[in-house]
Structure 1
Amino acid sequence: MIPQFRKALQIFGAIAVILAVTVTSLTLYWVTDSWPQQSGQILLPQLRDRVEVRRDAYGIPHVYASNEHDLFLAQGYIHAQDRFWQMDFWRHLGAGRLSELFGESQLKTDQFLRTLGWARIAQQELQTLPDKFLAPLTAYTEGVNAYLQEHHGTDLSLEYGVLKVMNASYQPEPWQPEHTLTWAKVMAWDLGTNLDEEIERGVLLQTYSPEQVDELFPPYSNQAPVILPDWKIAQGDSDLIGNQLGEIPSGETAVSMGAIASQLSPTFNSVSEQLSALANLTGPRGGEIGSNSWVVSGAKTATGQPLLANDPHLGVQMPSIWYEMGLHCTSKTPDCPYDITGFSFAGMVGVIIGHTDRIAWGCTNVGADTMDLYIEKINPENPNQYEVNGKWVDMDQVTETIQIAGGKTQFETVRYTRHGPIISEAYPKLKPLLLPDLASSNPSIYAIALRWTGLEPARLFTAILQLNQAQNWQDFRKAAQDFDIAAQNLLYADIDGNIGYQMPGKIPMRTQSDGRYPVPGWTDEQEWKGYIPFEKLPFTFNPPSGYIVTANNAVVDESYPYLITKDWDYGFRAQRILELLNKKETGFDFESFREMQGDNYNLNAQKLVPILLNLPFEDSHLEKIRDLLKTWDLQMDKQSPGAALFETFWKQLLSATFHDNFLVDFWPNAGHRWIKVIADLVDDPESFWWDNVLTPEVENRDFIFQQAFGEAVAELEKRLGKNPQGWEWGDLHRVTFRNQSLGQSGIAPIEAIFNRGGVPISGGNAIVNATAWNARKSFEPTWIPSMRMIVNLSDLDASVAVTSTGQSGHAFHRHYSDLIPLWGNLDYHPLVSSRSGVESNTRDTLILLPN
């Protein structure tokens, strides 16, 4: 939680404690009052016909409607029943309106979000949305508002009772179509990548040489897995624009970076602080997160038909980001073409990941570099002008009105260059930077603008609805053409036995940079030259290998003539998945896929443990404890002493190697990039990075390894006791599911209401069972497999899935946390989709009727 928000809540701490006692005494009224009706009948005059909602033992609904309007109206109604607080919070977050909920403590965050302008872009998208896509969006909005008409305050959700202490006058407004489209921007931002790395590289360049910075951001290995290793772009494309220069550009750009990197560092740091604060609300971003998916053809399965697996890795939250459901037209027709089952977002129309009656799809983040920071020259005599090719040009301006709980109003001016909003003006404490002009002896003022494809009108919403209707590979690729932001590795399988892959997205073409560093914006040299044409984006259909694996690793090799990114995930999860696929080769079934999704093998340990075992130790006590690693199977099981010992050593190794070199904000987080950095450095035992610059001695690799191991043993003995056989990884690696808003208050009674967890789990960083932790903080997982899905194309009712928490967003409801045990033990529930399968699993039936 951002500090200002915590401070604001702590001011009301005493009141909150009293409130908590009151909530306890009024449990039967307040808590159960918000629980939705799940059986019987409800009259909804907005409907055109009868709608049936069947829920299973986990509260997962399947909706049956005779027409498209009623289908999506019912989806909106049910989302609001179970998750309206989540929807309300998300729409305020996306629109930069958190101050309306939580007061002045959120003003800086709102200023930054208004500068990005997601809500303004969503309005533009809404104006251009074709009627065939506007109709489902409008129907969904009607459904949400139908629920809001009859429910208020704690009747909507328990969070509103707590909020009333801080903001007594708040009443949720009606849902609007643009709220749905704005949420798509939030997810696109969450999945965005490279911006954080671009800032970090820019800051580090003030201290280290480009070559040293490159060691901290190593290139993707030519030995690492590539999703489409044999994919070649069509011949005859000699007109391709060269856009993959691998070094900091020469000429003026190189001079500018060297001249102003250190002076811009405070600005970069301030922007980085706001990105981190926003990440506390939206979850880890971009390069910090990942996902797994793989598909095998029928030639390799026990059934003779494809199997598809997907487990997207997202930030830990309560309730889960996913809402599982089925949407079925009672009779599929051109006017009502939906028969879909899978995972939705509360607030979003349709199903994001899942299957229709004929095809299935999964998603992992490509990590495409779609963000660039431009350093703009500002006119010293007119702060509303910036330089373009030697001339001062007026900026575009938008005035934003920020309403603050309590009645205050704040006006903010957002300035735009041709590249995008000036994000360095989002902080009142920042002043324009006066630096030596690179072209003359006169000083210039600099500011930073953000260009991002997500700040342009997009078609992601139409892509989702088209995926929800797809019946074959052609339909799937047509839908993918509109999947233009938050580029995903789209994996495909169908009941006819086909498998495939498509990379979509608006990927910029650069001519003079590789996107790794901020660039000067006052000439045309660093401009984007359009986007990679869709027909040139990588895809495959029924590859000879009989399988496709995606885990955020490189999509294609260096022969691909366009730049996608220089900041791929380094492929450790993909490598392990491929090892498991090649080890078994054929006969894949549910159990083998389950074992793969739960695989805890640590490739980092495979590299480092042999080095550690070969080092001499003068301390016999340390030698004896090190013997734990001799028999360890390198699996990060929660009961494993070896896993606890290695991961504590890994944390201490990063600390001993790098904490003397960086500010706290750039300390290693223990993720895949740092695994790659250390894997390269261990081959150079005398590297500059091994030396602790704070000591007079010159340390080397072996010294740092020995030091880190000693520190790890000391930490474990202090935390887990003197008996190494009793150490367990799960005692350190416990996941707590926190409510994104009120669950991070620091006020124990409030957190106890909304949070669940402290659950020991297996896995770790760059593990297939990806339960990643951040070494800057603790061993607590920060992002996890947010759901797991295995789709059986021979019998869709034989598919299985699980989310991380539960369907309900209502604290203390039986479906608030009932999926945590399944998820934690790598178990699943049936992902049924046929009418007969749904009926056989039905526990509650709700009938929605028009007047």
Structure 2
Amino acid sequence: MFINRVQLIFLGFSSKRYKLRVFKASSNRVLPFILGLIFALVVGSQSFSSPPNTEILWDTYGIPHIYGKDARSAFQAFGWAQMQSHGNLLLRLYGQARGRAAEYWGEKYLESDKWVLTMGVPERARSWYSAQSPAFRSYLDAFAAGINTYVKEHGDLIDDSVEAVLPVKGEDVLAHLQRVLNFTFVVDPEKVGGVSSQEPKAGSNGWAIAPKHSANGHAMLLANPHLPWSDLYLWYEAQITAPGIDAYGASLVGIPVLNIAFNNNLGWTHTVNTHDGWDAYELKLTGDGYRFDGKVRPFETKTLSLKVKQKDGTLLQQPLVVKSSVHGPIVSEKDGFAIALRVVGLDRPGVLEQWWDMARSQNLTQFQKVLERLQLPMFTVMYADKEGHIMHLFNGQVPVREQGDFEYWSGMIPGDTSKTLWTKIHPYKDLPRVIDPASGWLQNANDPPWTTTFPQAIKASDYPLYMAPRFMDFRAQRSARMLAEDEKISLDEMIRYKHSTRMELADRILDDLIPAAKQYGNKLAKRAASVLEAWDRQANADSRGAVLFASWTQAINLDKAFSKPWNEKSPRTTPDGLINPKNAVATLETVAAKVEKTYGALDVPWGEVFRLKYSNVDLPANGGDGELGIFRTLYFAPSENGRFQSVAGDSYVAAIEFSNPVKAMALTSYGNATQPGSTHVGEQLPMFAKKQLRPVWRDRAIIEAHLAERKAF
């Protein structure tokens, strides 16, 4: 039974004289009257929270606000919504997660299918589906039903080629989840295969600010993942409201729950943490098996059938032999050795339900109780709430290892002994965590937990050497600098800091490079030094000198450029100083000649070379590579004429202040849809270019005022 505070005050229950008022009442009719009134109020409140119908209210930015009459209906509506916004992409991702993409779309998906099938994704998805609680299994079925129903009603809006995936089942959702989390984020197939890629790795920024460090005395949270702007990395912004939940945030396309979210009482974001959740074991082959603890063990072997669609539409069938050792599946064999993979999380099927329950939590105690399940294989959790608590949790399934440091476990591990074979995971209590630090702020920019705040609140020496590495790169240093140097941060200031394009690396090294160029350089180097001296040390669209500096950093080896390397005792001010100024100037001369030849000027504006391009939008960019110490992170790929276009980086951003009511601003950089014909493809990029966020609309009346479309079920 739930009675809110207003009802209690109305009934007089908040008074210390409550007992006298009830038990000294002069009439026996008073108590039945009060109880009857309580019953009426409670029933009324329950009926109000359960709408008779399920609706999707689409606002003018293409954000679906889902109002479900129950949880199952909300999941079904969310499946429908994702299809309307990302239908072609979602079905293609699900086809890949089945390991049947080559069957549907041809040979270019063959390697993807081999990876998915070798990792056992479809088979494990079926077992995970059976392991769900009955209620949550019904939610997955409902999400799949929403997908299927949308296509039945709007098949003309979905590409014929992807309809081969239909009908979608609940187990497809779990297969997609595994492919995204365990076999893309935890273990990158390209790293396993030794393939170099131009696509940047996933990254993120996250801040949690306590009331003592905020201008308005309220806790604040900044969510800022950096992911590729395509494929399984795309974010989908949404609000989900149903009995027991009213959460706003974003999920990766195809995931049926919010991965980053907030409600009226709390919120969290994730950052990609320095987590080692997989290992490559080298096995010595002997006959048809491998050596393990002095004996020869046979491989477990099974043969699967791969179908590959040919250009004439026929299917070519070929076998795929999957071999496994006690460590895990074999990914390569050569010269008498095999490589086996061991990946965390494959025995923990409750990831989605944990995320769902995180969004339903109302305070830190409830939230931590959900986190203790440790179903999520990785990702730092940055948390803030209305009561003023903030938290950094180095979340993940960390193997319990007998020996070795982080660097050791990042290499090839001997697989011929059980001493290196981990079988247990550290419990929640073992993970690095800090709640309400003295500083009043927490940050993570993909640096280890030891540098989350200063003075240091989590000490590396208290944890196993393999828990996380020790470093603090320039983006993390920039992050900590902005938080530490402002004693009282407002929501507007937090948003401004989020958009900072200042290069921490430039602040660290230009004071050495410029005088060296003036002393040792030729005329071109001296002109380059003048450009760098006049530059604002930012990567804004109109910044002149940023292109020259970024080109110079690409041409030198930063790992060996500094006279003072990074030092754990001075994590925020090292590395520093040029170790070889003459060589640095010689490189500047070479780079300056190339920049002038390519762009016609040494001080070409940043936004003329680096472009924000998505769909039909093409704008001057601001922001850049995090290795330069830029907090507003963007990654670019070569396009034409020496220009570059955005392909990854700042994707979903949310800035939340836990005031009453909660204030929130957000942006999904590339818009909230990819489906052809949608007006929301790329529509938020102009705001991104202007360093703007949109107000988050959460109240129904405000949503109705910005309503673009209504769908009732």
TM-score, structure 2 length as denominator? 0.83
1:731 aligns with 2:653: no
Post-superposition offset of 1:633 = 2.9
The one of 637, 649, 653 aligned to 1:784: 649
SS in structure 2 at match of 1:553: coil
Q: Is the 8 A contact 2:55 2:68 kept in 1?
A: yes
Equivalent-residue separation in structure 2 for 1:123 and 1:715 (angstroms): 56
Equivalent-residue separation in structure 1 for 2:52 and 2:148 (angstroms): 18
Aligned match of 1:362 = 269
Deviations 1:472-505 (A, max 9, x none): 1122112212343441221222222222232322
Paired residue type of 1:374: Y
Equivalent-residue separation in structure 1 for 2:390 and 2:460 (angstroms): 25
Aligned match of 1:13 = none
The one of 840, 843, 850 aligned to 2:705: 840
1:711 aligns with 2:595: no
Cα 1:834–1:656 shift into 2, 3 Å: closer
Paired residue type of 1:472: N
1:127 aligns with 2:130: yes
Equivalent-residue separation in structure 2 for 1:498 and 1:582 (angstroms): 18
Post-superposition offset of 1:774 = 7.2
SS in structure 2 at match of 1:63: strand
Equivalent-residue separation in structure 2 for 1:759 and 1:399 (angstroms): 52
Taking the TM superposition and a 5 Å limit, the aligned residue runs for 1:557-706 are 557-567=459-469, 570-586=472-488, 588-615=489-516, 616-654=519-557, 685=579, 701-706=580-585
Paired residue type of 2:679: R
Structure 1: which 5+ residue stretches go unaligned? 1-46, 165-169, 200-267, 330-335, 426-431, 434-444, 659-671, 686-700, 738-753
1:513 aligns with 2:426: no
Taking the TM superposition and a 5 Å limit, the aligned residue runs for 1:254-265 are none
Post-superposition offset of 1:509 = 1.9
Aligned match of 1:772 = 635
The one of 180, 187, 191 aligned to 2:180: 187
Aligned match of 1:322 = 235
Cα 1:611–1:845 shift into 2, 3 Å: same
Deviations 1:396-453 (A, max 9, x none): 223322221231122211111111110115xxxxxx31xxxxxxxxxxx211111111
Cα 1:66–1:684 shift into 2, 3 Å: closer
Equivalent-residue separation in structure 2 for 1:87 and 1:303 (angstroms): 41
Cα 1:566–1:70 shift into 2, 3 Å: closer
Cα 1:111–1:496 shift into 2, 3 Å: same
What number of residue pairs does the alignment pair up? Answer: 635
Aligned match of 2:56 = 53
Deviations 1:508-556 (A, max 9, x none): 1222333021021011231225221211212233222222112111113
Equivalent-residue separation in structure 1 for 2:111 and 2:386 (angstroms): 51
Structure 2: which 5+ residue stretches go unaligned? 1-49, 451-458
The one of 542, 548, 563 aligned to 2:436: 542
Equivalent-residue separation in structure 2 for 1:302 and 1:571 (angstroms): 28
Cα 1:463–1:571 shift into 2, 3 Å: farther
Aligned match of 2:680 = 815
Aligned match of 2:27 = none
Equivalent-residue separation in structure 2 for 1:93 and 1:561 (angstroms): 39
Post-superposition offset of 1:778 = 8.0
Post-superposition offset of 1:775 = 9.9
Deviations 1:116-158 (A, max 9, x none): 2223332222121112321211211111111122333xx233x
Cα 1:778–1:410 shift into 2, 3 Å: farther
Post-superposition offset of 1:593 = 0.8
Q: Is the 8 A contact 1:771 1:781 kept in 2?
A: yes
Post-superposition offset of 1:466 = 0.9
Paired residue type of 2:256: V
Equivalent-residue separation in structure 2 for 1:714 and 1:502 (angstroms): 48
Aligned match of 1:371 = 278
Post-superposition offset of 1:756 = 5.0
Aligned match of 1:22 = none
Q: Is the 8 A contact 1:72 1:140 kept in 2?
A: yes
SS in structure 1 at match of 2:712: strand
Equivalent-residue separation in structure 1 for 2:533 and 2:108 (angstroms): 52
Aligned match of 2:418 = 524
Equivalent-residue separation in structure 2 for 1:503 and 1:142 (angstroms): 36
Paired residue type of 1:760: A
Taking the TM superposition and a 5 Å limit, the aligned residue runs for 1:407-446 are 407-425=315-333, 432-433=334-335, 445-446=336-337
Aligned match of 2:84 = 81
Cα 1:141–1:520 shift into 2, 3 Å: same
Q: Is the 8 A contact 1:314 1:785 kept in 2?
A: yes
Q: Is the 8 A contact 1:77 1:144 kept in 2?
A: yes
Q: Is the 8 A contact 2:187 2:343 kept in 1?
A: no
Equivalent-residue separation in structure 1 for 2:264 and 2:122 (angstroms): 34
Equivalent-residue separation in structure 1 for 2:448 and 2:252 (angstroms): 27
SS in structure 2 at match of 1:423: strand
SS in structure 2 at match of 1:462: helix
Post-superposition offset of 1:574 = 2.5
Q: Is the 8 A contact 1:350 1:465 kept in 2?
A: yes
Aligned match of 2:41 = none
Cα 1:148–1:845 shift into 2, 3 Å: closer
SS in structure 2 at match of 1:638: coil
Q: Is the 8 A contact 1:325 1:342 kept in 2?
A: yes
1:112 aligns with 2:115: yes
TM-score, structure 1 length as denominator? 0.70
Deviations 1:339-374 (A, max 9, x none): 111112332112111112321111111120111110
Q: Is the 8 A contact 2:116 2:179 kept in 1?
A: no
The one of 194, 201, 212 aligned to 1:299: 212
Paired residue type of 1:156: L
Cα 1:775–1:564 shift into 2, 3 Å: farther
Cα 1:194–1:55 shift into 2, 3 Å: closer
Equivalent-residue separation in structure 1 for 2:670 and 2:143 (angstroms): 25
Equivalent-residue separation in structure 1 for 2:371 and 2:554 (angstroms): 40
Q: Is the 8 A contact 1:319 1:816 kept in 2?
A: no
1:92 aligns with 2:95: yes
Paired residue type of 2:274: G
Question: Higher RCO, 1 or 2 (CA under 8 Å, sep at least 6)?
Answer: 1
Equivalent-residue separation in structure 2 for 1:111 and 1:320 (angstroms): 21
Aligned match of 1:172 = 165
Equivalent-residue separation in structure 1 for 2:608 and 2:598 (angstroms): 9
Post-superposition offset of 1:784 = 0.6
Q: Is the 8 A contact 1:734 1:780 kept in 2?
A: yes
Paired residue type of 1:187: V
Q: Is the 8 A contact 1:638 1:763 kept in 2?
A: no
SS in structure 2 at match of 1:559: helix
Cα 1:656–1:623 shift into 2, 3 Å: farther
Paired residue type of 1:765: G
Q: Is the 8 A contact 2:232 2:252 kept in 1?
A: no
Post-superposition offset of 1:73 = 0.9
